[in-house]
Structures are given as C-alpha cells and as structure tokens.
Chains A and B, each alone.
Chain A
Amino acid sequence: MITKNLLFEIGTEDLPPNNLKNFSKKISDNIELNLKKNNVQYSSVINFYTNIRLTFIINNIEEEIYVKEKLIKGPPISQCFDESNNPTKTGLGFSSKYNVDIDKLDKKSIDGKDYLFYKQPEKIIKVSNILPKILEKALDSVEDQKKMRWGDNDTLFIRPIKWILLIFGSENLNCEILGIKTCNYTYGNKVLNNNKIIINNIEEYKSSLINENIEIDQEIRKDKIKKDLIKIFQKNDFDNSIDKNTLEEVTNMAESPHLFLGKFPEKYLDLPKEVLAYVVQDTQKYFLIFKKNKMTNFFVGSSNVKINENIIKGNERVVIPRLDDAKFFIDKDLKNDIFSKKSMLKKVIFHKKLGSMFDKVDRIIKLSIYINSISYNDKKLLVREIAEICKLDLISSMVVEIPKLQGVIGQHYAEKSNKNKIISEGIKDHYLPKNPEDSVPGSKDAQLVSMADKLDTVVGIFLVNEKPTGTRDPLGIRRATNGFLRIILQIEYNLSLTELIDNSAKIIYENTSYFNKQVKQDGGLEDCHQFFKDKLILTLKDNLGFQENIILAVINNEKNIIPYDLLKKIEAVKIIINNPSYKDLFSNAKRISNILKKSDVQVSSEINENLLRESSEKMLYNAINNLKKELELSLNQKKYEVYLKTLNELNDFITAFFAEVMINAEEEEIKLNRLSILSTINNYYNKVANFTVLAF
C-alpha cells in the first residue's frame, strides 16, 4: 500500500523551557496512542521542538484503513419489541445508532436467547479524514498541562498558537485543530526575517529551516552548544564542567543559539558562591565558569542572534547591579547582626498549629540534646549552639529576598562574625541531606541538629493530623523523613526509631501551646510510626538495594525499631541467604517454629538437665551450652554474621535430635522439656530475623 508522511508543526509564542522536553514527548506519545486506537498503520512518530515550535513527523502512514465486515450484537429481541410487536426505545436506539431501519436488522440466537444484530458492511476509511481529530486529541489530553486562553477565542493551550502547519504527503489538509485553521506555511527565524515560507513537503520544511539558520532537532542543538562550550573551555584553560539544567534551558530557549564569554568584576567573588550561582546561573541562565575547581568571574551566555560587542556588554552590565544588590542585602544584614535578634523568629511562622520558628528552635534544642545523650553522649558537641542560631538567617533580608539561600547565608554571616567553624558550617549543614545525591552533615554536631529538625517537622505534622497525601506535601515531609533516615542509618548508633518518635512527640506536646488546649490525637502518632517504618523499608530497598523479603523478615520481627541494628542484621542475612552451607539453618528454623506453633502450650525456655533422656538430646543441650557465651558475645557486639555462623554449627545436633527423639513423649514433663530446648533455639534465631519466611 502507498504510504505518506505527515508534517505537523505548531507555531507558538515562547514555550516554557523547563518542561518542554516532557511536554513534546507526551504529545508524541499521545499521537501514537490515538493512531493505534484508530487502527492507523504507520512506522514511527518523531518529535522536535524549539522555543517557538512543536513539530511532529509521522512516517509511513497507510492512506486507507480497511475495516472488515463485522457483526455487532444488540439488545435481546424481547427488549426491542413490545407485545404488539412495535419497536421499543431500546430497539430504536440500537438501529438508529447504525442508521438503519430496525426491520432490516438480523436476528440471531445465542444460548437460547434471541438478539438483534447489525451486520456492518466492510468499509474503507480515508486516514486524511480522521487525522485532524487524532492530532487535536493528542494536544488536548496532555496531563498536567497548564493551559491558558488568549485573544477572543475559546482555544486552550500551553501558550498562544500562532499557526498550525499540517501537510500530509504533499497535500495541505486545510482543516481545523483546536479551533485554528491549519495552513501550508511556516515562519522563519523570528529574530531575523520572520517571513512566511510556503511548505509543500517534509524535505522542503527541513531545508527551509536550515536556510533560516534554525536547528529544529533539540539533540543536535544541545550538542552544538556543548561543543561550543568546550571550545571556549579549551581556549581559556577553564574546567570542563557544564551544568545540566542550564544546558537544557539554553537549548530550549533558542532556535539558533550563539555563545559568548562574558565577565564581571573580580571583587564580587567575595560573595558566597551560592549567591553568585543564584544570580549568574539561576537568574541570568549563564553557564558558570570554573578554573581548577574554583569559581571564576567569567560566564558563558547565549544569544539568538550573532554575537556582537553590544550583546556581550549588555549582558555584562546586567550582572553587576544584581550582584550589587546581593551585596546591599548582605551588608545590611551584617550591620543588623541577626544573631542578636533571636526573638525576631517569633514573627516567622513555621506552621499555624505548631507555632513560630522560635518555638521550633526551642524544640530542636531539646530534641537534639536528647539525641546526643542517647548516642554520642558527648557534652562537648556544639549541639545547642548550632540549634539556637540555625534558623536565624530566615529573618535576614537576603533570605527573605531569595529563600533558597537559607542556611548558606546563615553560614556566611556566622563566618563573618567569627563564630566557631563547627557552628557556622552547622547552620548550612543542618538542612542536609535535602536530596538523594546530598551527603549527610559533616560534623556530629550538625547531624544531631539535622535529625532533630527533621524529626520535629515530621512528627509535628502527624500530630496535627496533616500527613502528606498524594502529591500534596507542602512542608516536604517525605524529603525530611528520607533525610532523617539517611543520617540515622549512617551514624552507627543504636537509636530506637520508636523511642525517638515518642520523645519528639512528648517534646511537641509539652512545648506547643496548641496542645495545651487541644486533646491529644494519638492516632496521628500511630500513623507516624507506621510512616517511618514504611519509609525505612523503602530506603533499605531502593537506596541500599536490599531484597524486600530479607528486610521484612528482619523488620517485622522487631517491636522496637532500631534502624542501624536492622541494617546490620539485614547485611548478615543477605550474606548467608544464598550460601548453601546455611541451607539447614533456614529449614531447621522453619521446622522448629512449626512444632512450637502446633504444640499450643506455654513453653518456658528453661531446660531441666535432669529430664534429658536420649543421647542426641543431651548432645544438643551441651552444644547450646557450649555456644551460649559465643552467641551472646557476638550478639552484643552486633557481629550478626559471626552470630549466624555460630548458630549454624547447631545444625547437625538438631538433625540428630529430630532423628532420634520423639517430641511428644508420654510424660508431659519430658515433652515440655523438649519443647523448651526447641524454644531456646527458636529464640536464638529470632534475635536476627524471622527465618521461617525465608526458608527455601
């Protein structure tokens, strides 16, 4: 069959660069979805985009769809005609759907019941007739698309549409999409000529764009920017470092990007580097330049037209007042001495029920000192000192102006007022880790404050029953929980998550005025425990890569959740689970557990030596006794792999025991004593995991 290619270009006003890649891909996916739904045969859909074009090319569309003759089942005859054999609403509904007379419909019996049938004749659908609807639907049904309106029409799209070019083969389809008439022309480079260009086919489209200096293919455009950057790097001996987000943005904001090297006065390098990055990279969308890993006063910008001296000068001129402004704020804040104004935090709200930042800081102090006392227990740590001032930069005019600089600015001000290095770094570090790629705070001091801050946020939100739902998580509860768990798993202390949550709740109850009046809602606390447990399982699984069945076998075996201890146990189980020499440990654990479950009597784990009868029984008992010390020692030292290895040495004795001994002895005393032996062993297993669920 003859196939044709389709060219579909939507010319718009400038598209938002942030999500452009996804947006274009989603439309492309939608096109494929709708082509398939309509049985249109094609080979591929390709998507291109620039800042003002969304282009899709569908290759090798078969012009016609052949639809075979088809029998369509209708309602039962009994419902289609009344007693006097006149057609009912149901009957007429079915016939009118296919636009035929009801008397012309077939009748057929299925399982003894008669139904109306419509025999749809074979037909041929011209694809060109259904393409407009397919494309319109693809545009319209992109999820999470923030649509807008413009002018005096009802069209909704992400940005105003200026033209829609639609060519099928070489035919101008001349139809309507989203209320806009399609055409057979495109526009050239907006900044150069902006002239109308008639397009007859895809080849013409491609060559016209090349003539206009437009690179429609985003990947080629991106590569070109990269190459140009590297050229600049090599020429000037700069480090080869390219910020991915900036690259994406620059690619998406241009049709034909030209790069230039600019600079700002060196004196601004004194500003905190995050402030420089904010101004130069985030705001102005320039590439930052590094030399030997140090930020320089150079930047690379991009232009949509050929570079001239004025463009470079203009861009350089913009950076200075912005940096000056940052300096203005910083100087003002330093004069203000924010660290002497703790009561100002009363004006900064944390949460309407959980109080101000002042209240939160008070809780962070209490909680971090508590965590220190049960972990490092080192009075020399500057926990209180960091906690007291870690939120104070929130009142600084620099952070009020640019909130994302919180922490960084506090650190900078603390350094300027000659605070201890641990304290000033702690201000920034107590926010860590924010993202999976961040490391945990460097100092023990900051780790404790970070844990307290995050725990207080999460527990607090659960106590006021505002746990995150779906995508709604305004206070970043999930992120705070993940950060908290990362630290607790890393600091190698056996902190009980259960106790930490309960203590944090206690501090919140006792120190938050909301709870003086309010009845405590302990349901929230229960949910909080479960939430942390679920997140811990996820962290162990997704971040640390453990198998879920091992994690569950360990974690579900514990009432008191101690993340670091769980981690050590999971690591040990992971090592032995695929080791054949441990096979019997798993099967014995299962067998013993089953027997104990069935026995249905209270079994003490006290074994009475005098009631031991058989030799294998005595040998097992002696073996347990001989290994006891060793087992306890490795358990106390959390050397779970050693512990399991020791436990594994009981296997032969257990096998012999089962071979020789009848558990259900006639004398009740003896039976119970034998169960006690098994119970003792079972307890040893359970110290690490519920092995029965892992047995082969």
Chain B
Amino acid sequence: MTFQEIIFKLKSFWANQGCVSLEPYDFPVGAATFHPSTFLRALGPEPWKAVYAQPCRRPTDGRYGENPNRLQHYYQLQVILKPSPNEIQDLYLESLSFLGIERKYNDIKFVDDNWESPSLGAAGVGWEVWLNGMEISQFTYFQQIGGIECKPVTGELTYGLERIAMHLQSIDNLYEIKWNDEITYGEIYLQNEEENSKYNFELVEPKILIKLFNDMEKECENLLNENLPIPAYDILLQNSHILNLLDSSQAVSSTERQAYILRLRKLSFLIAEKYLEKRKKLNFPLKK
C-alpha cells in the first residue's frame, strides 16, 4: 500500500464514521493538535468530528536525512471525536485492520503516555499505540485546553503515517517509502531534510527570531483586544514555531525557554477564553 493510499483509506474510513474531511492547516505546526480544528474545536460544548492529514515541523528532530527513522518534517493523520465515543479504541483498531493491520497477527499495545503541551496550556490522558514495538499512533483524551476544562471530552487519534507505511511496505528506511508506485518519500523530501536540518541546527539567526517573537506577541495582544481570537491563534502558531527554531539552534537556555513557553501559554489562555466567549454569544451553533 502506498503512502498516499494510506491517507486516502484512513480519510475515507473516518469520513464514513461521520468525520468532516478537512485539509492541512497553512501555518507551521509542531503537531496536528495545533490545527484550529483540534485546539479551538475542543473547547466548549459543541460536538465535532474531523479527519485531516497534517504536515508537522519539529526542527530538533532533523537528522540531515541520515537517520532512517527521524524527520524534522513529517505527516500526521489526525482524527478528532467530540465527545469521545465509548468504542473509540475499537474504532481505531478497526481502522488499522482496514489498512490490513490485523490484531490477531500483530502485537498492538496501548502504552501509558499522558500528553501535555505547556505552551498550549493543554493536557490529556492517553497512550502511545505500539505496533510490534513501534509507536504508530498517539491516543489522547483531552482534559484541558488553553487552561479550560474540556467538557465534553474530545478524543484525539493521531497516526504516524511514515511509521505505518514502513510497516505495511516492510522497509527499514522511511526514505524508501513508496509515495505512489512511481516515486518515493525520499525523492520528494530528502533534499528538504538536508537543507532544513542545516538551517535548523546551524544557520538560525536568534536575533532576528527573538525580535520577530516579540513583535508577533504584540500583534497577538492587539488582535485579542480587538476580540479576534482566530487570527490571534494564527500568530500564536507562528511564535510557537519560532520558539522551536530557537530551541534547535540551542540559542536559549532552559530557563529562557521556560520563560518563552509561559509567554505563549498566557496568550493561549486568552485565546481559548475569547474564542469560547464568542461561540457562546453565537449560541454554540454546532450544538444541534
């Protein structure tokens, strides 16, 4: 099964479960959770079901294209189910068997791994899903987002697409993943990994990024004063990515990093609060 077929199949599986099929978000994110369709939609009482593939950037995970299992740019397939249904784990296992991964012949473990995003003020209880020892998914029940208790609770399923493709195609090196029958993952992304690793680790200019962070933070505050939480959130995403770049360049000490995280968290709290207020004014339109 090719990489693109995995995406097609998972999207159609979950669309059949009633999920809205969405496209990736257009700002850099470190994880599919940052897509507003997850972060913002998890707030408040409105039900929500969505599925989308999301390219993610994690600058510190770059390995110059040399590690067969690590990337600074990779894909997640995200499923959001709010409220989380009772049979969520079974649905997930069914989706795997839809891909041809049968639980009778594979060791599938749910390994305790609670999730926390300090910069989003978010926390959840959940598991890593292991397929024959390899982490292929993350499964989380959101308890809190932007400092606000989640009620109802959103269930989040995040598939690591490269890992799943490696399993299905029985290969050890993700650059050899067949994207379709003609072209490999490496042919599309190897140069991208090499160049971005060089940038992330060696050429990030902290001064520029720190100034940008400060300016963007002001912009975000202005937007919040104008009661516009959605564009404010876009700015937060960009600052979160800037912090990740500062991290990979090792330009900030652990305390400085902590200080930046707190600044992000403060904004994410305000955004969550404002967004929820606005939905409330609209009488929570999706709550039918």
Contacts and interface: CB of A to CB of B under 8 A. Distances in A.
Do chains A and B stick together as partners? yes
Contacts of B125: 146, 148, 159
A511 interface: no
A13 B134 contact: no
A304 B108 contact: yes
A14 B143 contact: no
Nearest to B139: A13
B143 A148 contact: yes
Interface stretch (B2-10, B84-92, B222-230): B84-92
Interface string A156-195: 0001101000000000000000000000000000111010
A511 B253 CA distance: 22
Contacts of B150: 149
A474 interface: no
Nearest to A252: B112
Contacts of B279: none
Interface stretch (B62-70, B181-189, B209-217): B62-70
Given A150-B84, A321-B69, A314 B134 contact: yes
Contacts of A152: 83, 152-153
A310 B132 contact: yes
B100 interface: no
A17 interface: yes
B107 interface: yes
B104 A149 contact: no
A324 B108 CA distance: 24
A325 interface: yes
Contacts of A160: 84, 86, 141
A348 B105 contact: no
B106 A305 contact: yes
B172 to A, nearest CB: 6
A512 interface: no
A348 B106 contact: no
B16 interface: no
A414 interface: no
A16 B127 CA distance: 9
A303 B107 contact: yes
Contact of A301 (B90, B133, B172): B133
Contacts of A320: 69, 172
Given A14-B127, A160-B141, A151 B83 contact: yes
A18 B254 contact: no
B255 interface: yes
B73 interface: no
Interface in B218-269: 253-256
Given A159-B125, A160-B141, A347-B254, A318 B107 contact: no
B270 interface: no
Interface in B88-112: 89-90, 103-112
A18 B112 contact: yes
Contacts of B254: 347-349
A311 B253 contact: no
A284 interface: yes
B167 interface: yes
Interface string A306-337: 00101101110111110011001000000000
A148 B141 contact: yes
Nearest to B163: A318
A191 B103 contact: yes
B148 interface: no
A253 interface: yes
Contacts of B105: 305, 308, 310-311
Interface of B is mostly: loop
A191 B86 CA distance: 18
Contact of A151 (B63, B85, B103, B108): B85
A15 B110 CA distance: 9
A18 B113 CA distance: 12
B103 A305 contact: yes
Nearest to A316: B133
B15 interface: no
Interface residues of A, number: 45
Nearest to A193: B104
Of the listed residues B131, B141, B150, the one surrounded by the most CB atoms of chain A closer than 10 A to its CB is B141
A311 B86 CA distance: 29
A150 B69 contact: no
Contact of B63 (A194, A285, A328, A352): A328
B151 interface: yes
A308 B105 CA distance: 7
B87 to A, nearest CB: 8
B136 to A, nearest CB: 10
A152 B167 CA distance: 35
A670 B106 CA distance: 98
Given A152-B153, A349-B255, A192 B112 contact: no
B106 A149 contact: no
A148 B139 CA distance: 14
Contact of B109 (A18, A304, A313): A304
Contacts of A313: 132
Contacts of A314: 106-107, 131-134, 167
Nearest to B85: A151
Contacts of B109: 14, 253, 304
A150 B133 contact: no
Interface string A343-365: 00001110010000000000000
B284 to A, nearest CB: 14
Contact of A162 (B66, B84, B86, B127): B86
Given A311-B132, A317-B172, A348-B254, A192 B69 contact: no
Contacts of A328: 63, 66-67
Interface string B144-157: 00000011110100
Interface string A201-228: 0000000000000000000000000000
Contacts of B151: 149
Contacts of B256: 347
A318 B106 CA distance: 14
Given A14-B112, A314-B134, A349-B254, 6 more contacts: A150-B141, A151-B86, A151-B153, A305-B106, A311-B105, A314-B132
26 contacts: A13-B110, A14-B110, A16-B112, A18-B112, A148-B141, A149-B153, A151-B85, A151-B86, A151-B152, A152-B83, A152-B152, A159-B125, A253-B109, A285-B111, A303-B107, A303-B132, A305-B104, A305-B106, A310-B105, A310-B106, A314-B134, A317-B134, A318-B134, A325-B70, A328-B63, A328-B66
Q: Which 6 A-B pairs have the closest CB atoms?
A: A314-B132, A321-B69, A347-B253, A315-B133, A303-B107, A152-B152
Interface of A: 13-18, 51, 146, 148-152, 159-160, 162, 190-192, 194, 253, 284-285, 301, 303-305, 308, 310-311, 313-315, 317-321, 324-325, 328, 347-349, 352
